[in-house]
Amino acid sequence: MKRFKTGVVIGKFYPPHRGHKHLIETALSQAEHVTVIVCDEPDQTIPGELRAAWLAEIHPAATVRVERSPLAHDDSAGWASSTIEWLGHAPDAVFTSESYGDAYARHLGSTHVSVDPDRSTVPVSASAIRRDPLVHLNDLEPCVRAYFVKRVVIIGAESTGTTTLSMALAEHYRTAWVPEFGRLYTEARRYRGDTWRSEEFTYIGVEQARMEDALARIANKVLVCDTDPFATTIWHERYLGTMSEAVSVVAATRRYDLYVLTDTDIPFVQDRIRDGESIRQWMHDRFRDELSRMKTPFIVVSGPHERRFAEAVTAIDAILVG
């Protein structure tokens, strides 16, 4: 039987890491109901709601809530009073790894359970992660890891080597890469022979984003994306004459550290589904013009594969140490 009826874990979780996981799992093992309070402050760059969503995914058995308070960090009495106000009662136990735990629990009239205060069980700190998150990816759960991984999109017109370059970069960085869902979809529908519908592009854009977010969870510092939802907006324009507002909304929610645009200066190779060489330059120009308008960091790689690969590696290395 668990020792306590109710327990509280409170902190910034900025960001949540495996030390926090150990703390919350300890609370869950000793209390029947655990509330995790995420303290959100205006100057924090990771929204409290996002940190809470991560914690809710990592600890589905806990109740996670976001609270904002102007209290000073050392105002244990004030935090205790706020905690009772938020919960509607004083918890039976509070679980912390911090020196404030004793005073906070005393003002609550609760038992303080100190968990790994010297960080010997899980030697990590949120401040160290914020200083250099890529060094500490293994201290983060997959959903949090995905947030910090750098994302690079390889984009280009048909038969310009995007997939070849994507796979080569993934191998070089020993990381994951995101295949082009639109190509798989086009292959699957090619025997239908009917015209494209706008909602198909929306589906492709949403699925591309879903695949990307799933694979970011296992990426090693950088995720290589062979296209993205923005590219889907250009394909919508190619087939239906205008860019899709629905796909543009999907694209607007994405964030990338670099686009690598592959040039058209290599021979066109026809396969079973490509449109043809006649639109290749138009597609390239549209990608370049839109990326320039969006003020998105991008480079254009030209020439043989070896040269393109070397230029892409130089640019990606720069963002990995930036």
Same domain, 125 and 169: no
Domain-embedded: residue 141: no
Query: Looking at the structure, do residues 316 and 167 belong to the same domain, yes or no?
Result: yes
Euclidean distance between CA atoms 24 and 294, whole angstroms: 42
Give the pLDDT of residue 272.
67
How much is the pLDDT for 276? 67
The per-residue pLDDT for 74 is 80
Residues 119 and 166 in one domain: no
What are the E-state strand segments in 157-295?
177-178, 222-226, 258-262
Give the whole-angstrom CA distance, residue 283 versus residue 308: 19
Structural domain of 75: 4-129
Looking at residue 73, its pLDDT comes to 75
User: Do 165 and 159 contact (CB within 8 A), yes or no?
Assistant: no
User: How many domains, the chain?
Assistant: 2
Q: What is the CATH number of the domain that holds 63?
A: 3.40.50.620
Q: Which residues have a Cβ under 8 Å from the Cβ of 100 and sit 6 or more positions away?
A: 73, 74, 76
Do both 193 and 281 map to the same domain?
A: yes
What is the DSSP track for 129-161?
HHH-GGGGGGGS-HHHHHHHSEEEEEEESTTSS
CATH number for the domain including 287? 3.40.50.300
pTM of the model: 0.91
Q: Are 21 and 149 in contact (CB under 8 A)?
A: no
Assigned domain for 242 exists:
yes
Last residue of a domain, one of 129, 161, 180: 129
Residue 41 within any structural domain of the chain: yes
Q: Which residues of the chain have pLDDT under 70?
A: 268, 271-277
